Copies of this chain bind each other. A is one copy, B any other.
Amino acid sequence: MAKNVIVGQSGGPTAVINASLAGVYETAKALGADTVYGMRYGVQGLLAGKVVALDDYLADPLQLELLQRTPSSFLGSCRFKLPDVTVQPEIYRQLFDVLERLDIGCFFYIGGNDSMDTICKLSDYARDIHSPIRFVGVPKTIDNDLEATDHTPGYGSAAKYIATVTKEVIRDSLVYDLQSVTVLEIMGRNAGWLAASAALAKGPDCEGVDFIYLPEAPFEVEDFLQQVALRQRSKSNVVVAVSEGIRTGSGTYVAELGAQLGPQDAFGHKILTGTARYLAEQVSSRLGTKARAIEFSTLQRCGSHMASRVDSTEAHAAGAAAVRAAYEGHTGEMICLVRRSSLPYQCVTHPVDIHAIANREKKVPAEWIAGGCGVTEDLLAYMRPLVQGELQPIQVQGLPRHIFLS
């Protein structure tokens, strides 16, 4: 086998995507890789020849500790859908030229649905041209929407962040002896896994949120206002969690109901922020109650100061398992997390054919959604192990220390 390996990160970042990178790097070195290359800005950067030798940055084990505590994607990322080989074969030739020039034996890609599509296409192409290069995917997404894996690295830390700040906001919401409604806006365009994690806030020291609305269940503004009004009869301060992607029965995003729908983002996706703001305005004007919107925003994916130890460990293990699988001859696969048991929580890695994963989307099952506005005990039992333990930041002068690629 060729002596070098290459690794890239793709799609939106998470708090633990760099733990997977650390797992790839450490394991590849341990198994005898000569140079471990990193793609700058994913496959898009690779096409432009942008690669770095990771030994220059990660040789000192302290750097690996910092890497696992650094949010966002150390190597940079891209949102790039590899065109079909029948449409643009030259891109494939160009990529394989770069890989052969770098003497690459294994190619690892840490990402979500689109990234697994890249692994699928590249491994298929390698088989067709009888290239010995092996392609293995490492799952990553806060959205938890990948098929075949019990959950995705990145989700547990986002869920821990959401549950923690939800607890804090609930305490904050009770401070005045007034009626109030707080609407929390949580990421999730099509899948409600993240919004569901707000349910973890409930416990002996916290009354929890009153309602949770997921994109999997149709949302009607009138029903919502009725539910809130009814709850306010028994409770002064109502706290509601909504997915940014909730839409009405007719398919309109609630965010679109607001007058000021933002522009499309750089990748042509509609920007969905404004859901909570619109609902808070409705509560305020229609129910006459003080209402505020809180967008958890980008911190859900980059709040590495609140990373879950379980999540970080699994992210590292997924990266490590990808390298081991490739060295054992696997290709065209993604490392999945297989939950053996929830109580006690035990989880192992297992490689799965990439064709069963790419371009699919795993949503919250209907039987885990309670009455259209809450989650069931089964869903709580599924989520709870994933937020356990902390990966303490390395604090320097009072702030978490990171590393970065200059």
What residues make up the interface of A, taking CB atoms closer than 8 Å to B? 12-13, 40-41, 44-45, 66, 70-73, 76-79, 160, 163-165, 167-169, 171-172, 174-178, 180, 200-201, 203, 205-206, 259-260, 262-263, 265-266, 281, 284, 290, 292, 294-295, 297-299, 301-306, 308, 384, 387-390, 395-404
| Contact pick for A265, options B165, B260, B290, B402, CB 8 Å | B290
Q: Which residues of B contact A395 (CB under 8 A)?
A: 390
Task: State the copy count for this chain.
Answer: 2
Q: Do B266 and A290 touch across chains, with their CB atoms under 8 A apart?
A: yes
> What are 17 residue pairs bridging A and B, where the CB atoms are less than 8 Å apart in the complex?
A13-B172, A70-B171, A71-B172, A79-B176, A160-B399, A165-B303, A169-B299, A200-B399, A201-B399, A205-B401, A262-B281, A294-B299, A305-B305, A305-B306, A384-B397, A384-B398, A387-B399
Q: Which residues of B contact A387 (CB under 8 A)?
A: 398-399
| Contact pick for A167, options B13, B260, B294, B402, CB 8 Å | B402
Write the nearest CB–CB distance from A264 to chain B, whole angstroms.
10
Q: Which residues of B contact A259 (CB under 8 A)?
A: 260
Q: Do B390 and A302 touch across chains, with their CB atoms under 8 A apart?
A: no
Q: Which residues of B contact A160 (CB under 8 A)?
A: 398-399
Write the nearest CB–CB distance from A198 to chain B, whole angstroms.
12
Q: Which residues of B contact A399 (CB under 8 A)?
A: 160, 163-164, 167, 200-201, 203, 387
| Contact pick for A175, options B73, B171, B306, B388, CB 8 Å | B73
Given the complex of chains A and B, what is the CA–CA distance between A298 and B160 in angstroms? 18
Q: Which residues of B contact A384 (CB under 8 A)?
A: 397-398
Given the complex of chains A and B, what is the CA–CA distance between A226 and B163 in angstroms? 40
Given the complex of chains A and B, what is the CA–CA distance between A40 and B176 in angstroms? 9
Q: Do B402 and A165 touch across chains, with their CB atoms under 8 A apart?
A: no
Q: Do A301 and B172 touch across chains, with their CB atoms under 8 A apart?
A: yes
Write the nearest CB–CB distance from A184 to chain B, whole angstroms.
10
Indicate whether A168 sits within 8 Å of B303 (C-beta atoms), given known contacts A176-B78, A294-B298: yes
Q: Do A172 and B397 touch across chains, with their CB atoms under 8 A apart?
A: no
Q: Do A72 and B174 touch across chains, with their CB atoms under 8 A apart?
A: yes
Q: What would 4 more interface pairs be, CB under 8 Å, given A163-B398, A168-B302, A171-B302?
A: A40-B177, A72-B174, A73-B175, A390-B395
Write the nearest CB–CB distance from A161 to chain B, whole angstroms.
9
Write the nearest CB–CB distance from A109 to chain B, whole angstroms.
15
Write the nearest CB–CB distance from A192 to chain B, whole angstroms.
20
Q: Which residues of B contact A297 (CB under 8 A)?
A: 294-295
Q: Which residues of B contact A308 (CB under 8 A)?
A: 398
Task: List 9 A-B pairs, minimum CB-CB distance, nearest first.
Answer: A72-B171, A387-B398, A172-B302, A41-B177, A388-B398, A168-B302, A72-B172, A266-B290, A77-B175
Q: Which residues of B contact A390 (CB under 8 A)?
A: 395
